[in-house]
């Protein structure tokens, strides 16, 4: 599975910790930036860049991080075909995959500890979409 990962400056440190975890688990990781925790950048640019990797088919799923996860999830969801879910626990991540077929996970670098975020990421990446009654709902979003 190819995972795109991106963040603004506020999410940089958590992004790097998640990236290391993903690489240790043998996922192919595409990092669209940013490359600094100190240079202020816009979450919009990195949310959009990560989302474009998914809609182009270069990545299967994405993980995006800003200070709270709110702004970057809004930015990513502006791209047609993206279903970015801001999750603060593993249950939310599981439901985002099983019921909503979320293709991006948004996290808050200023609100989640790295080890806790790692469990959310693991849950997001190991659950599949259930389809069935949930597919009708997704179809109505298009």
pLDDT tens digits along 83-99: 999 999 999 999 999 99
Q: How many CB atoms lie within 10 A of CB 142?
A: 6
Report pLDDT digits (tens) over 108-121: 999 999 999 999 99
**In the block, residue with structure tokens 């077929």:** 101
Beta carbons of 13 and 65 less than 8 angstroms apart: no
In this structure, whether the domain defined by 2-141 belongs to CATH 3.30.70.580 is answered with: no
Of residues 9, 87, 99, 127, which has the active-site annotation? 99
Active site residue 87: no
Decide: pTM greater than 0.85: yes
- Count CA atoms closer than 13 A to 106's CA, side-chain side: 25
Determine the length of the chain.
142
Residue spans of the domains in the chain: they are: 2-141
> Exposure string (b/e) for 59-85, b if CB count within 10 Å is 16 or more?
bebbbbbbbbbebbbbbbbebeebbbb
Q: Kindly name the residue from 66, 87, 127, 134 that is annotated as catalytic.
A: 66
């Amino acid at each position: 599975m190819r995972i795109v990962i991106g963040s603004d400056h506020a999410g940089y440190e958590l992004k790097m910790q998640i990236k290391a975890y993903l690489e240790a688990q043998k996922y192919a990781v595409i990092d669209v930036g940013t490359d600094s925790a100190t240079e202020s950048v816009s979450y919009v640019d990195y949310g959009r860049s990560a989302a474009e990797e998914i809609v182009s088919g270069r990545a299967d799923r994405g993980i995006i991080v800003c200070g709270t996860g709110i702004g970057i999830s809004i930015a990513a969801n502006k791209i047609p075909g993206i279903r970015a879910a801001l999750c603060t626990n593993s249950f939310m991540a599981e439901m985002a995959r099983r019921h909503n077929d979320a293709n991006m996970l948004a996290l808050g670098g200023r609100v989640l500890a790295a080890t806790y975020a790692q469990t959310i990421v693991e849950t997001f990446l190991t659950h599949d979409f259930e389809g069935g009654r949930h597919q009708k709902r997704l179809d109505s979003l298009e």
